[in-house]
Amino acid sequence: DTAVSQTPKYLVTQMGNDKSIKCEQNLGHDTMYWYKQDSKKFLKIMFSYNNKELIINETVPNRFSPKSPDKAHLNLHINSLELGDSAVYFCASSQGPSIREETQYFGPGTRLLVL
Amino acid sequence: KNQVEQSPQSLIILEGKNCTLQCNYTVSPFSNLRWYKQDTGRGPVSLTIMTFSENTKSNGRYTATLDADTKQSSLHITASQLSDSASYICVVRVPGDYKLSFGAGTTVTVRA
C-alpha cells in the first residue's frame, strides 16, 4: 500500500501548456504539502493545506494553483508552463501542522520537464 | 543565504567504512531538527528527529547528534552498506511555524 502517491511520475510538456499533478494519501493525515526540488536539490515549500484549508502559500507564481477536494487529496495545477518550472515536485502529508514532532511522509515525486 | 548549510556536498566511501555528515543552521529558535534520507528517484524518508533538548538519537546504523549551543548537527553512518548510497538532508523546524528549512543535502556514494 502506497502511503503518499503522485501521478504522473514523469511529465514532459511544451512551454505554454497547462498541466496538473495529482496527490493522494491514505494515511488519514490532516495536512498535505507541495514542495519543489530544483536542480540544486533544495526542497522548497510551495503550499500546504490542513483539512482542505490553505495554511501555507509561499511566494510562487499565481500560475500555480493548488486544489484540495478533500483532505486525502491535494492536486497542483500549473498554467502557462515555463522552462523554469522544470523540477521535481513532491507531495507530502503529516498528521497535523502543529504537532511538534510530526513526520512528513513524502510521495515519490513528479519529474516535470518543460521544453 | 540558506538557513541550513550541509557539508560536504558529496562524498564517496568504501563499503564497511564509517562517515560523518555535517549540518550547520542559523534558524533560531528551533523546534526540532530532522535528518532525511532521499534515495535517487524517490521522496525523502525521515531517519531521526531531535528536539533542542536532545543531544543524540540513533536509528540502526545511523546516529545523529545535536549541539544547540553551536547550532550544529551531525549524522554518523556506521559500517556503511551499498544501500546507504543516497542524499541525506538536514531539516530544521521553527516553533509555531508550519514550514521547514531544508539543507541542500549531502550525496553519499558507497562503493564495494
Tell me how far apart the alpha carbons of residues A53 and A114 are, in angstroms, rounded to a whole number: 30
pLDDT of residue B48: 92
Using a 10 angstrom Cβ sphere, with 0-12 exposed, 13-18 middle and 19 or more buried, the burial of residue B101 is buried
In this predicted model, what pLDDT tens digit does every residue of B29-77 receive, in sequence order? 778 899 999 999 899 999 999 988 889 999 999 999 999 889 999 999 9
Q: What is the pLDDT along chain A (115 residues), one digit of tens a residue?
A: 669 999 999 999 999 999 999 999 999 999 999 999 988 778 888 988 888 888 877 778 899 999 999 989 999 999 999 999 999 999 999 887 655 557 889 999 999 999 9
AA identity, residue B35:
W
Residue A103 with chain B: CB contacts under 8 Å = 34, 46, 49
**Residue to substitute from B98, B102, B106, B107, interface A, most A β-carbons within 10 A:** B98
